[in-house]
Amino acid sequence: MSFRKVPEPEHLPSIRLRFVDLFGEALSAILARPGRAGLTVLGTVLGIAAFVAVLGLTATASGQIDKHFSALTATEITIEDAPVDPAVAGQGFPEDAEAKAKSIIGVREAGLYFSTDVGRVSGQPYHLARDVRLDAAVLGASPGYLHAAHARVSTGRLFDSLLRSRGERVAVIGRGLAAELGIGRLDAQQAIFLDGTPFTVIGVVAEVDRDPAILKSVIVPDVTARKEWGTSVTNTQGVRMLVDTDLGAAQAVGRQLPVALRPDQPERFRVKVPPDPRFLKGEVSGELNGLFLALAGLCLIVGAAGIANTIFVSVLERIGEIGLRRALGAGRRQIAAQFLAESAALGFLGGLIGMSVGVCTVVGVAYFQQWTPVLEPLTVLPSPLAGALVGLIAGLVPSWRAGLIEPVEALRR
C-alpha cells in the first residue's frame, strides 16, 4: 500500500470583523446589562453635559453682558479740560462746544457740566429755614447734559436752550433731595434757595441711567450759574462734557472730540473712552470657562474611569466567551477591537445623552431668564464624538488585556 503525502495546508485566511459586526456586538453587550451600562455612562453624561452647558451659558450670559454693557457704559464718553499749564492755556471748551460735539457722526447728546461753590440749599428763606443743607451738590449744566445722562422726570420738565440762553433762575432737582426738602407737586411754582437766591423748581428727576449723583443734586443752567456766582465755563477748571454716542461709535468719537472742540489745542483735553465690549466679553468668558470647564474635565475623567472599570469587569466575566472566540479563529486584534467598540459605544451613548442634557439646560435657563440662548454648533455637534473618544481611551488597557488571553487558559476557567 502506498501512502500519498498530504500537502501541508496553507495559512487559513484571517477572520475579519466588519464595522457592522463590531457595532452589533457592542450593542448586544450594552443591552445585555442595561443597568450597568446606565451607571457606567453617568460620569460621561455629566462631563459632556457640563461641557455643553458651561460653554452655552457662558456664550448666552456674555451676550447679555454685551447688551447691557453696550446700552450704558459702551456709549458713554467723558471729556475734561485739563491743560498742562492752566495759567497760559487760555480758553478751554468753546461757547459752542455742545453744537460742535453733536456735529460728530455717532453723537446722540452732549452737554457741559461743572460744580459750583454753592454750599447752602434750603426750601425756605434763610431767616425762616430750619433745613439748611451743606452737602447738596449744585451743578451748572447745559441742557444736553441731562439728556446725555438719560434723566427722566417724575413731575415737571427739564430746562431747555431757551431758559438757558435767558439765564432764568430755574432748577431741576433729584428725587432724593426733593424728598428731604419736602418738595412734591410743582404746580404752585415751588422754589428753593441757593445761598439765599431763589430758584424755581421746574422738574424732579426720578430716574437716571448715568451719574446717579444727580438724584441728590441741584442742576441749574450753566449760563445762570455764571451770572449768579461768577463761574466761568471757559476759564474754570473742572468743566466736563458728557457725551452719549451710538452703539459702537464711542471709540471713533473719542478720537475726534478733542480735534472738533479745539483744533489748535486738542492735547489739552483728557478723554475717557469706555473699553471695547469685546474685551470685556473675552475676560468674562475666559474666567467662567476656566472654572467650569475644569469641573467638566473632572467629570470626564470620572466617566472614563467608570468605563474602564466596567470593561475590566466585562473581560473577567466573559473569559469563557473570549476563549471560545479564540478557539474558533478570532485573533487578538479582533478580541481587542470587540471590547474597544463596546467602550467607544458606551462613551458615544454618554456623549449623546450629555449633549441633550446640556442643550436642555441652556435653553431652560435662557427661557426662565428671558435671554436668547446661544449655542455654538462646534460645541454641541462634536459632543457625542468627544464621548466616544473618552470611551475609546478608557477601553485601551482592558481591551489590550482581553486580547492577551490564551484560548486554552480561557477554556480551563
Q: For position 293, what pLDDT does the model report?
A: 65
Residues 101 and 172 in one domain: yes
Question: Band of the pLDDT at 311, cuts 50, 70, 90?
Answer: confident
Asked whether residue 137 falls in the same domain as residue 243, the answer is: yes
Measured in degrees and rounded to the nearest 5, phi and psi for residue 201 equal: -80, 120
Assess whether 139 and 257 both reside in one domain. yes
Could you tell me if 260 and 284 lie in one domain? Answer: no
Residues of the domain holding 368: 19-68+279-412
The answer to the question of residue 367 being in a domain is: yes
Give pLDDT tens digits for 259-274.
999 888 888 888 988 7
Residue 203 β-bridge partners: 156, 172
The SS3 assignment for 164 reads: helix
- The verdict on residue 1 lying in a domain is no
498742562: which residue's cell?
84
**CA torsion 280→284→285→291, rounded to 10°?**
160
CA dist., res. 55 & res. 293, Å (int): 8
Q: Residue 187: exposed, middle, or buried by beta-carbon count in 10 A (0-12, 13-18, 19+)?
A: exposed
Do 104 and 45 reside in the same domain of the chain?
A: no
Pair 175, 133: CB distance under 8 Å? no
Asked if pLDDT for residue 365 goes beyond 80, the answer is: yes
Specify whether the CB–CB gap between 399 and 332 falls below 8 A.
Answer: no
324 within domain boundaries: yes
Same domain, 235 and 124: yes
Last residue of a domain, one of 233, 264, 295: 264
36 and 133, same structural domain?
A: no
Residue 159 is predicted with a pLDDT of: 93
Give the total number of structural domains in the chain. 2
Q: Are residues 151 and 121 in the same domain?
A: yes
Per cent of the chain over pLDDT 70 is: 78
Q: pLDDT at residue 134 above 90?
A: no
Looking at 201, 229, 264, which one is the last position of a domain? 264
Domain boundary (216, 238, 264) is at 264
Residues 31, 59 share a domain:
yes
Q: Per the domain annotation, does 8 fall within a domain? A: no
* Residue 2: all three cell numbers together: 502506498
Same domain for 166 and 305, yes or no, is: no
Higher-confidence residue of 170 and 285: namely: 170
Q: Do 197 and 287 have their domain in common? A: no
Domain assignment present for residue 64? The answer is yes
| 74 assigned to some structural domain | no
In a domain, 392, yes or no: yes
Q: What is the longest distance spanned by two Cα atoms in the chain?
A: 150
Residue entry with cell 457722526: 105
Region 390-412 average pLDDT: 78
Distances in Å between the alpha carbon of 118 and those of 111, 226, 242, 330? 21, 12, 22, 98
- Domain identity same for 33 and 175: no
The span from the CA of 357 to the CA of 53, in Å, is 8
In a domain, 328, yes or no: yes
